[in-house]
Amino acid sequence: MSKFNSQSISSIRKTIGWAATGIGVLLLANAVYKEFAKYKLEGKVVLITGGSRGLGLVLARALAARGAKLAICSRSADKVELARQELEKTGAEVIAMPVDITSRDQVRTMIQDVVRHYGKLDVLINNAGIIQIGPQEAMSIEDYEQAMQTNFFAPLYAIDAALPYFRKQGEGKVINITSIGGKIAMPHLLPYSARKFALVGLSEGMHAALKKHNVSVTTVVPNLMRTGSPRNAMVKGDHEAEYAWFKIAASSPLLSQHVEAAAENIIKAIEYRASETVLSLSGKLATVVKAIAPGWVSMALSVADRLLPDYIPGNIETKRGYEVESQKSQGPVAMLSDTAAAKNNQM
């Protein structure tokens, strides 16, 4: 009996050993294959909308370091020119274009100009957008229309204009920068969340529809990032209080992600052909919890809404973040956002 048990244990150990070896070989083979199939960005032409500041500019820097040829656009001619000068000083090859991305004609012309200049377009990154902060009562239909025009139709215009070139080339990549606000509707950010939900749906649908044309679509889902963007946010309601909570949240290391780390994760998603990437651990946890217990998430968001600033009747004027700085939006945590703003062309 003892001999039988000894032989059985020995046999089980051998089986486990061979299984572990097999799994190790498979994992190694998969890693080797992923590296072999990795999308090389060197020499690729990458167009970044909203590439003059914030995440777009940080992405441009990281892509330039990998040898990509860049095209960046912005509504502001001054901002995009400043970004071009900075990138060229690092040795990047870049063209900069002042473009209103809510104009379908201007977007079509932008795509044509990129192809005319470089002879091709390999990667389109839909990054540009706006954010409106304030209670639901302060938001007008026009706010939602503006949000949809900038963060939904503008990316759609760009994809539509780029597709003929991608099909002709036989391949192409579209990267849509969405938000955790496109997975979970955040209080006091309703126009933003509504348009991000729409963009997530568009991106996921395009991924399925365009695969047959060898055009890959990646949905990027970031959380808050320390880009310095609160300065340029559009604020309604109790302006100082609304701006203060958003700026502090977007500055906090506990709630927001380092923008350079986010950019590196986005580039990895491009290189390894991911269909979707949720950039932060908190974002991943939030989406899982919502899937498992949507009622709990809804209750938590209702509580959060009650804790945010109250609506001031009649106060529906829109102001920029930098216009409503106060003592409430200052301090060591908020300073992280100010530092990022100076670094990333947000001033």
β-sheet bridge partners, residue 13:
none
Check if 192 is active-site.
yes
Among candidates 207, 173, 159, 200, which has minimal Cα distance to 283?
200
Tokens representing residue 143 in the block = 């706010």
Beta-bridge partners for 278: 221
Task: Please list, in sequence order, all residues whose beta carbon lies within 8 angstroms of the beta carbon of residue 220, skipping any fewer than 6 positions away.
Answer: 175, 176, 177, 178, 266, 269, 276, 277, 279
The catalytic residue among 39, 144, 165, 192 is 192
Distance (Å, whole) CA 222 – CA 219: 10
Task: Name 257's bridge partners.
Answer: 225
* Pairing assessment for the beta strands 224-226 and 215-221 based on DSSP bridges: unpaired
Amino acid occupying residue 207: H
Q: Is 98 exposed, middle or buried (0-12, 13-18, 19+ CB in 10 A)?
A: middle
- Encoded tokens for 51: 């590439």
d(C-alpha 161, C-alpha 180), whole Å:
27
Q: Write the burial class of residue 9 (CB in 10 Å: 0-12 exposed, 13-18 middle, 19+ buried).
A: exposed
The dihedral built from the CA positions of residue 140, 186, 177 and 198, taken in this order, carries a sign that is: negative
Q: How many CB atoms lie within 10 A of CB 140?
A: 12
Residue type, 240: E
Q: Are strands 172-177 and 215-221 parallel, antiparallel or unpaired?
A: parallel
For residue 84 the two structure tokens come to 């071009």
Specify the DSSP class assigned to residue 44.
-
- Edge-to-edge strand list for the sheet holding 319-320: 132-133, 234-235, 319-320
Total residues found in the chain within this entry? 347
Q: Name the residues annotated as catalytic.
A: 192
